[in-house]
Amino acid sequence: MNISIIGAGYVGLVTGACLADSGNDVTCLDNDPNKVARLRNGDVPIYEPGLSELIKNNTRAGRLRFIDDPAKAVSNADCVFICVGTPQREDGSANLDYVRDCCLTMGPHLPKDAIVVVKSTVPVGTNRKVAAWLKEAAGRDVPTASNPEFLKEGAAIDDFTKPDRIVVGADSEDVIDVLRELYRPFLRTEHPFLAMDTESAEMTKYVANCMLATKISFINEMANLSELVGADINEVRRGIGFDARIGFQFLFPGVGYGGSCFPKDVRALASLAEAYGMEPRILRSVDAVNDAQKETLFRKVHSYFDGKLEGKTIGVWGLSFKPKTDDIREAPALVFVNQILAAGGMIRVNDPVAEENVRAIYEDRIVYCPDRYEAADGADALAILTEWNEFRTPDLDYLKRKLKNAVVFDGRNLYDPKTMAKAGFQYYGVGLRSSP
């Protein structure tokens, strides 16, 4: 098929590269000429394992190209995927301006039988608006569908090529059949293709993310309570995780979730509920618990130093909101860094890929270190904010020699408290007995 992708951001690039790799001819449109030029030269502006190689291979093969001309982008398309951003407004609702603009821009240039597929995360009812905007621009009815994405940053290629399920919402069986054929190469392992109405498809995306966010906030709240009562959240987690009704996924206590999806989607769904006159008690609580959890590690550091952080240096391992990405949007690490700096402390940081994004924010207010041990060198304490694999098995003897004080505040519970104590460290995790 001839596929057009509108928006060369995270979702658009992954979708375009994977569809090209399965044999389709894919054109990616972006309104930033500099980004288009970079992508044509194989310079991928985001970090996602495997994505750069996939883009380079399919660009060389002629199946993937990047342009900034809307008319050329859609003129031969069988399917057009809308993958533009839906940023959060001040009230928490989703901003659909980019979705509307791309509909009005491409509408006059769409081929007669082209299908427009909304892959952006949008509130329930948006696909109906998209159909109206396209009709306004094209002067006719344009077939549309909702096809929400379920991509995890750091594992997006696998998620796209080996999906748990494909969700498609459309009123037309013909549209559903076209998308079923498009996704057929990715469903050979009998994972389901779920066809439904557009409102249910739109709702599915939000509910999935909000359910996962709820699990994270729940286990974090239980971790905080475990500290107070003298329990160990790791033991508690094992005690409940083997219950098949609960499971272990997303039950890892820490310093809260971040990124571009969970925070925005929880607030957007809560805002949607309020627009319909419903009080979203659980969703608002999930968001509030997560915001408070991001301050957990700072409170521990602040308490350890009796509130006297001025002139103290804290080494920080991990800046991205999760491993295998350079995404720092709503990252707990940034909350921690801001609080340490506000208290008069100094920061030495190491992250495998997120340094460039962080440097754009803090410039020379913090020290950037190419090596994890250098970030700990001379520090009064070490704080771990992201669970990168390279942080999991440090040389503890060497780390101890590097630190001014053998104190570790672990926001991801990477280490065994007994091992750390035996190595001579004061070790503070989340929900552990060793924590203050």
SS3 (DSSP) at 44: coil
Q: What is the DSSP letter of 140?
A: S
Q: What is the DSSP letter of 108?
A: G
In angstroms, the CA 365 to CA 345 distance is: 11
Ranges of H-type helices in 184-305: 198-229, 233-241, 262-275, 281-293, 296-304
Phi, psi dihedral angles at 241 (to 5 degrees): -70, -30
Question: Annotated catalytic, 103?
Answer: no
The length of the chain, given as a count of residues = 436
The residues, ordered by sequence, that sit 6+ positions from 338 with a Cβ below 8 Å of its Cβ are none
CB 143, CB 172: distance < 8 Å: yes
CB 379, CB 311: distance < 8 Å: no
Token pair belonging to 171: 């009123």
Pairing of strands 115-118, 144-146: parallel
Among 11, 147, 149, residue whose Cα is nearest residue 79: 147
CB 110, CB 138: distance < 8 Å: yes
- Of 28, 102, 103, 261, the catalytic one is 261
Which helix (H) or strand (E) segment holds residue 356: the answer is helix 355-362
Token pair belonging to 71: 């008319």
The Cα-based distances of 116 to 78, 88, 142, 219 in angstroms read: 9, 23, 7, 40
Task: Identify how many contiguous H helices and E strands the chain contains and give both numbers.
Answer: 18, 14
* Residue keyed to tokens 């990715």: 186
CB 182, CB 1: distance < 8 Å: yes
CB 25, CB 331: distance < 8 Å: no
| First CA to last CA distance, the chain | 59
Active site residues: 261
